[in-house]
Structure 1
Amino acid sequence: MASNANVGNGLEPLCRIITPIGMLGYGFDEFEIKYALESSIQSGIPAAIILDSGSTDSGPAKLALGTMTCPRASYERDLRKLVATIIKYRFPVLIGSAGGDGSNAHVKELVDLVKEILASSEYNSTQLKVIAIYSDIDCDLVLERLEAGGISGCGPCVPHLTAEDVKASKTIVGQMGPEPYIRAMASHPDFDIIIGGRSYDPAPYVAFSAYHAFNQRHGQILSLDSRTLGGFTHMGKIMECGGLCATPKSPSCQATIYRDGTFDVRPLMPGALCSPTTVAAHTLYEKSRPDRLYGPGGYIDLSASTYTTLSDKCSVRVTGTTFHSSKGSGDCYTVKLESAKIIGYRTMFMGSFIDPILISQLHSLLHGVKSYVTQQHSHISEKWEIGFHTYGYDEANKTAYMGNIFVVAEAVAETQATATSIASTARVACIHGPYEGQKATSGNFGFGLGGKGEIEAGPCAEFSIYHLMELEEEEEDAFEINQQDKRAKKHLFSFEALLIGVGDRVQRCSSRLHNNFTSTPGDMFPQLTPDDAWPNTAEVPFILPHTVGEAAKVIRSKNAGPYEITFDIIFNNKETYDYVRNTGLLQTDLIAKLYNLSVDDIVYCGFFDQALAFKATIPRTRNGKPVASGGFMEDDVHGSQRYLPLMNLRLDIMG
């Protein structure tokens, strides 16, 4: 489709994507995306609103217990805004990984919410076509592929999958690529909303771009040029987080995609700016390594990607990313399987110790508490465990940092009753347990927060499947439910189209339908050209740093899937980056020492020139043993509180 925009350099606009927030259910400001929607109408470029809705970041509970990431009311609020936007602007909406885990049940839950919205008095004269794409995977198929050797861990830290793990898993989802979305759009080009099951985060973004590259028909995703598909995927990886690539972070973001895979990214929050460094740095986020990002069917290579500031001073143009397919290298197409299981029931209690005499013997006291609980439950045959989170304890000096120690205890057992008995007995022992030199005899432990002694937390979940399954030919695609094409039934995923509501269908967007906007195309879609005069980063002047924290404008830790934690250090400017790199301090052996690991355990360690950054990725461990995020004794499910040893690291120790 021709565009009114003058983009220069011979680039042909393909489509535009607007993301109002990085996660459906978090809430968004519809006025923040208003001008992006209006300019998209005037430009004549096909456009869509696309949002992610899922992640394993918050732990295993959704898959094991059937809960959603956000309350139902939060999804209803955001979907109501999206329905209003569809009616006003006539753009389609695509949502990936419904409800957080993308299970069939949560796809249907969001479809039900759309039904309720369209049945309300505000919208009861409107009809929308909604496509639901399903991603649940049959347990028997997983067992069959496991027995045939077609399943492996998604990364070096993931344990070997067993048949017992599979059988204990309540719901198994497959992380689909763009193929099911393309199939659904081609089958129903007049769709208004797609609610997708568990999806690779960039998948709906890639699919919408590819669908228009195929001239709004079905096509094979791997028929696209490597740079084109690489650009689409890279764009999706950035956009699925909203405007996280901007400074300050913007909830909303816009991408203009060109036919050759080049794309422009622009934050929509007033005052937010993208720079080449901030956009390049986004490929560090939540990933094991920054130069290769793996997904269904292959990976993108960012080693030759380039980032250029545009003349509006807030947009960045990205090009040069390439996609490498697993089939192209002779390997199978794989999809990631995700699931979780219930390992027992959990009860908690919390409170504080203030006596410095007790605090100096804290470990001894808690050991005595565990011994007392064991003695009092010697008649119990079921398995149980108890652990203590302690906050404010100075391990080196056996004292409290701020005068008291806060303790959260967790008990897990095969039944809720036993877990509560374990926790209650431990709480009593914390209150009345003896210790050497005791003077305060009325009670050791301050408790009663929220009016509770014990808090029954219910089932305790644990990740059971985070593995790659090899697919047979064409299984990555989807078939339409109730269609007669038996050949298509070999596809792994499925979809159905539903007409919801009564009254007139909403027409697809056309600039002829919107002639009441006062802004001209030139106002709302200015010429965007590379601006070599504009600095690539808002650089901080070079001052010799004493610590890594002083040298960095961003330093963070984050989960990279359930089994890894990754660290990103983005330096203040190139001089600082070069200085720290040349010290030779940030090496694999140092990361291993800081986090009590062996050098062989380190998943990745290296510098990333494009973002002036350093990255290291390690296994997630607890008490020296590999674990998955969430589950029993988790206290940092995002892994976002692990960066302090790096932040405090002195750079002058080499001198």
Structure 2
Amino acid sequence: MAPALLEDGIQTTAPQFPVHNSAPETPSHVALQPLCQIITPIGMLGYGFDAELTKDALRAMASVSTPTAVILDSGSTDSGPAKLALGEMTCPRSAYERDLRSLLSISHEFDVPVLVSSAGGDGTNAHVDELIDIIKEVSSELGNESYNFKTLAIYSDVPKSTVVDSLKAGRIVGCGLSVPKLNMSDIEDAVTIVAQMGPEPFLDAMVAEPDFDIIIGGRSYDPSPYIAFAIHYAKQLQETLTDLQVGGFTHMGKIMECGALCATPKSHSSMATVYLDGTFDIKPLAASSVCTPASVAAHTLYEKSRPDILIGPGGGLDLTRTQYDALPDGKSVRVKGGNFIWAKDENMAYTVKLEAAKLKGYRTMFMGGIRDPILIRQMDAVLERVQAYVAHVNSNFEGQYEVGFHVYGKDGIMGALEPGDASYMPREIFIVGEVMANTQEIATIIASTARVACVHGSYPEQRGTGGNLAMGIGGKLEMELGPCAEFCIYHLMSIEDGTEGARQISGPVEQSSGLNLFSWTIQQIGKAKPKPPVDDHESTGAISATKQAAGHSFTKHQKFSINSRLLTLADIAPVIRSKNSGPYDITLDVIFSSLPVYEIVKSSNLLSKSLIEKLYNLRGDEIIWCGFFDQAMAFKATIPRKRQVSRKGDDGKLVRSLDFAISGGYMETDVHASQQYVGLLELALTEDVKTAIAHLLARGMA
């Protein structure tokens, strides 16, 4: 069996997914043929958006007959596993009602389709139906009597039996080196299992019903609806598409699904003009934001394990030859050169990512502040004694539990990975005690015991005997947090060729052996009479050609003043950030705005794999990806999530260790991993780098 691809850019087995550097380019003298236009009002449905920006953009497009759509993503594992385990949505239902009310109004007024993927955050069938119900409710409201939307719903839940059969057949692997091997108990414990669909299910539904108004999709690979919309119209002009065309459509979707995060300053709304050859122009709608070649290229790194090859359903997006050119309007950037490498062409299976979560227990927390400097100096030892006391008092207790502490002001966010001076003593600290047990009652009993130990425990040189903890915030001593969820499936499943699309069903969602993994339904929603069916070509009109705008050199970037003091990495790099790359990994980005400065750093030993090992207490074989990416003038490293864990040793004493962790679970401190970059921020520049950059500054070249 061919090795399966990992969505985050890593393979479970050698060889590495190939990079094809010989992708053909469109000759520069060939005029670009507009294919479609896409507006994304916000990077996540439910977050709220400025509808007037979208309407203004659509009014400006009125004179152009190019097919246009409004497309939004609605899902992510960013916020943790609770959605999949508890059936919750990312945002309150009222937030989806607000956003869908605006979108339906826009769709009706401008006669543009609206596509939403990963409904409700996790994309379960239940949340697809929930958004469909909202559309029905809004369409029946007073004043909306003229609404009638041909609405398609695409479903992505996967029966456990399908996953069991695939596991037994050896068709499932972990999505990343940090993901443990899937076992039967993971499948049994999963509440709902979803599969990330590629563009094929969207495309199947579009082809069957080309005059659709609304599509609500289940769990999806983020760019899938964008890719499908572009392919849908490209297929009307060209029966066979090239890898560069599909690569361009995929690259466009990868950028657009985040709204205008690729702009500077980042904003919410963006639009893309897509051309038949895969080239696309992207710009923010906000007047205060612009896209630059640097900001768009840098977005390639965002949340990705690696910047050069982005793996998704059906293959990989090769970005090693991409080009980014500023356009004369001062807001837009033209992008080309993305190339799609099909898994089947490399004798690899088509894979979909499975996601699921389980209920692991129940949590109770307590919190309070400490100002006593005598106590703060020995905080670690005191908390160890608290844990020992809790274990002793409850030694005959039959329930299972875990106790942990977040010490904010000292190392509450990064824990054992904190890069600061270990001898630093803060003036005050804030403690959050977190207990997980197999019942809520047990969690609260243990939390109460731990809180009492924190309040009244003794310690050397103690002066304040009235109590150690300033507590009772919000009038609460212990706070019951309810069920604790944890990801249990984040794996790739190989599927048979030809089953990656979706089949139309007329009743309840069912899964039958040998059929497509995904399915879709159609319904008319609204009181008005449905629009008469029209030929798809007639509805979109002729696709006109426009003049190709002259591009500018990629070396034009947003301005960033190099700090002449030249002490730390923050003095020479405008972006130093961290972000989760799936639930198991963290990715670190350092992005430069000056090519000469970037070349100096790249040729030095300032940023390297060995540095990442040292900063984050890792072994070399634990680093998932590390290197430089010239297109964005960036350094990137992707590492596994780790968390300090205390366990009882054979001698009964507590033993601390760094273990692999999963985002959003017990003892979570940074679910987005957005605060894990500080070690790089404060990294001291080496003398050779200081000297070389000082010479650049003296010559005005930095």
After TM superposition, is the score higher than 0.5? Answer: yes
Q: Which amino acid aligns with 1:290?
A: P
Question: Aligned with 2:62: secondary structure?
Answer: helix
Match of residue 550, structure 1, among 571, 578, 581 = 571
Which blocks of at least 5 consecutive residues in structure 2 are unaligned? 1-27, 412-419, 645-657, 690-702
- Partner of 1:120, secondary structure, is coil
Q: Is residue 2:262 matched to residue 1:238? A: no
Q: Distance in 2 between matches of 1:343 and 1:487?
A: 31
Matched, 1:532 2:557: no
Among 166, 172, 188, the residue aligned to 1:145: 166
**Structure 2 residue identity aligned to 1:531:** G
Q: Are 1:127 and 1:501, in contact at CA under 8 Å, matched by a contact in 2?
A: yes
Find the counterpart in structure 2 of residue 630 from structure 1: 664
Give yes or no for the alignment of 1:300 onto 2:317. Answer: yes
Q: More deviation in 485-494 or 89-98?
A: 485-494
CA contact (8 A) 2:149 2:526 kept: yes
Cα displacement (A) at 1:100: 0.3
Q: Which residue of 2 aligns with 1:415?
A: 439
Match 1:82 to one of 88, 99, 103: 103
Aligned length: 636
Which of these residues, 483, 492, 495, is aligned with residue 520 of structure 2? 495
Provide Cα deviations, 1:487-533, integer angstroms capped at 9, x if missing partner.
Answer: 9971000000011121233689999999xxxxxx99xx995602337
Give the Cα–Cα distance (whole angstroms) in 1 for the partners of residues 31 and 453 of structure 2. 75
Give the stretch that moved more between structures: 415-424 or 572-581: 572-581
- Where does residue 123 of structure 1 map in the other structure? 144
- Write the deviation string for residues 40-78 of structure 1: whole angstroms up to 9, x where unpaired: 231100000000000001111111111111111100000
- The answer to whether residue 464 in structure 2 is matched with residue 440 in structure 1 is yes
* Conservation of the 8 A alpha-carbon contact between 1:129 and 1:192: yes
Deviation at 1:643, TM superposition (A): 0.5
Do residues 21 (structure 1) and 23 (structure 2) align? no
| CA distance 1:182–1:141, change in 2 (3 Å) | same
Measure the CA separation in 1 of the matches of 2:242 and 2:399: 58
User: In the TM superposition, what is the alpha-carbon distance from 1:267 to its structure 2 partner?
Assistant: 0.9
Q: 1-side partners of 2:194 and 2:554: how far apart?
A: 46
Does residue 582 of the first structure (1) align with residue 593 of the second (2)? no
Aligned to 1:111: 132
1:466 Cα offset (Å): 0.5
2:303 matches 1:269: no
Q: How does 1:246-285 map to 2 (within 5 A)?
A: 246-285=263-302
Instruction: Give runs of aligned pairs for residues 21-40 of structure 1, distance below 5 A.
Output: 21-40=42-61
Q: Choose from 447, 453, 472 the match for 1:429.
A: 453
Report the equivalent of 1:649: 683
Q: Which amino acid aligns with 2:198?
A: G
Which among 325, 341, 346 is matched to residue 358 of structure 2? 341
Does the 8 Å CA contact 1:601/1:619 hold for their aligned counterparts? yes
Look up the SS of the partner of 2:121 in the other structure.
coil
Structure 1 residue 190 and structure 2 residue 214: aligned? no
SS of residue matched to 1:494: strand
CA RMSD of aligned residues (A): 2.6
AA aligned opposite 2:307: P
Of residues 363, 370, 375, the one that matches 1:358 is: 375
Distance 1:197 1:383 in 2: 37
Evaluate the alpha carbon distance shift between residue 307 and residue 398 of structure 1 in structure 2; reply closer, same or farther with a 3 A threshold. closer
Matched residue SS, 2:686: helix
The CA distance in 2 between the partners of 1:181 and 1:396, in whole Å, is 52
Question: Of 397, 405, 412, which aligns to 2:429?
Answer: 405
| SS across alignment from 2:119 | coil
| 2-structure distance, mates of 1:384, 1:630 | 18
Residue identity opposite 1:161 in structure 2: L
Q: Counterparts of 2:247 and 2:538 in 1: how far apart (Å)?
A: 34
Q: Is the 8 A contact 2:324 2:554 kept in 1?
A: no
Task: Give the Cα separation in 2 of the matches to 1:593 and 1:93.
Answer: 48
Long gaps (5+) in structure 1: 1-6, 515-520
Q: What TM-score do the two structures reach when normalised by structure 2?
A: 0.87
Shift in CA distance, 81/259, structure 1 to aligned 2, threshold 3 Å: same
Q: CA deviation at 1:378?
A: 2.2
Structure-2 change in CA distance of 1:513 and 1:234 (3 Å):
closer
Q: Which residue of 2 aligns with 1:3?
A: none
Q: 1:323-363: CA deviations, max 9, x gaps? A: 00111111110000001111100001110111111112212
Residue pair 2:578, 2:586 contacting (<8 A) in 1 also = yes
Answer with 39-48 or 368-377: which moved more: 368-377
> 1:106-160: CA deviations, max 9, x gaps?
0011001111101110213422111110000010110111011100011111111
SS in structure 1 at match of 2:335:
strand
Helix, strand or coil: the match of 1:230?
A: helix
Deviation, structure 1 residue 315: 0.8
Q: Give per-residue Cα distances to partners, 1:588-640, cap 9 Å, x unaligned.
A: 01110011001111111111111111111111111211111110000001111
- Give 1:4's aligned residue: none
Aligned CA distance change for structure 1 residues 513 and 629 (closer, same or farther; 3 Å): closer
- Paired with 1:535 and 1:155, the residues of 2 have a C-alpha distance of 34
- Quick check: 2:584–2:641 contact (8 Å CA) kept in 1? yes
Separation of aligned partners in 1, 2:582 and 2:213: 32
In the TM superposition, residue 538 of structure 1 has moved relative to its aligned partner by: 2.6
Indicate the larger mover: 18-27 or 302-311: 302-311
Counterpart residue identity of residue 340, structure 1? A
Contact 1:542 1:575 in 2 (8 A): no
Q: Which letter does structure 2 place at the counterpart of 1:102?
A: G
Which secondary structure does the structure 2 equivalent of 1:129 belong to?
Answer: strand
Equivalent AA in structure 1 for residue 54 of structure 2:
I
- Relative distance call for 1:449 and 1:400 in structure 2 (3 A) is farther
Residue 506 to residue 29, structure 1, CA distance change in 2 (3 Å)? farther
Offset from partner CA, 1:152-181 (integer Å, 9 cap, x none): 011111111111111100000000000000
Distance 1:452 1:604 in 2: 45
Q: Residue type matched to 1:316 in 2? A: V
Conserved 8 A contact 2:32-2:547: no
Answering whether residue 311 of structure 2 is matched by residue 290 of structure 1, we say no
Answer with 89-98 or 207-216: which moved more. Answer: 207-216
CA contact (8 A) 2:366 2:478 kept: yes
Q: CA–CA distance in 2 between the matches of 1:216 and 1:480?
A: 25
**8 Å CA contact retained: 2:557, 2:593:** no
Paired letter, 1:638: H
Residue 178 (1) aligns with residue 195 (2) = no
Contact 2:33/2:546 (8 A) holds in 1? no
Alignment correspondent of 1:517: none
* CA displacement at 1:582 relative to structure 2: 2.2
Once the two structures are overlaid, the 10-residue window that deviates more, 307-316 or 533-542, is 533-542
User: Are the counterparts in 1 of residues 562 and 571 from structure 2 also a CA contact under 8 Å?
Assistant: no
For 1:465 and 1:542, how far apart are their aligned partners in 2?
A: 45
Q: What do residues 241-288 of structure 1 show as CA deviations (whole Å, max 9, x unaligned)?
A: 001111111210011111111111111110211111111111100001
State the percentage of identical aligned residues: 51
* Partner in structure 2 of residue 102 of structure 1: 123
Structure 2 counterpart of 1:384, from 398, 401, 421:
401
